[in-house]
Amino acid sequence: MRTVWKYTLTPDVAMRIDGGDPNVVHVGVDPQWLDSPVSADMTNVPTVWVELDPDGGDHITLVFVGTGHSIPWSDARHVGSCITPGALVWHVYEIDRQVRTFRG
């Protein structure tokens, strides 16, 4: 069964997301951090929501970069951007995708 999962990204660190036919459905700031005085730094961190089958054997790898930063992956595919309350703009790229194709 396909479900949506939430992942908080870290700057300059690629994140592998495992699951069947993963698809990024939203990039933004997680609303749970917006009014939290304890986690003020988290309001500037992008979060992605990914639809996938948790029992599947595929994966994607995501990374985010700031506006004006280099994109060192020649085959990177843009999947979304977000503007944070701190006025930072982040851009999320898929840099690896392993999805099996089934032929019947």
- Give pLDDT tens digits for 61-85: 999 899 999 888 888 999 999 988 8
* pLDDT at 77 (0 to 100): 93
Residues 104 and 101: their CA atoms lie apart, in Å, by 10
pLDDT in tens, 10-65: 877 889 999 999 999 999 988 876 666 655 566 677 899 999 999 988 999 999 89
Q: What are phi and psi of 102, to 5 degrees?
A: -100, 130
Q: What are phi and psi of 92, to 5 degrees?
A: -100, 135
Give the number of other Cβ atoms within 10 Å of residue 51's Cβ.
16
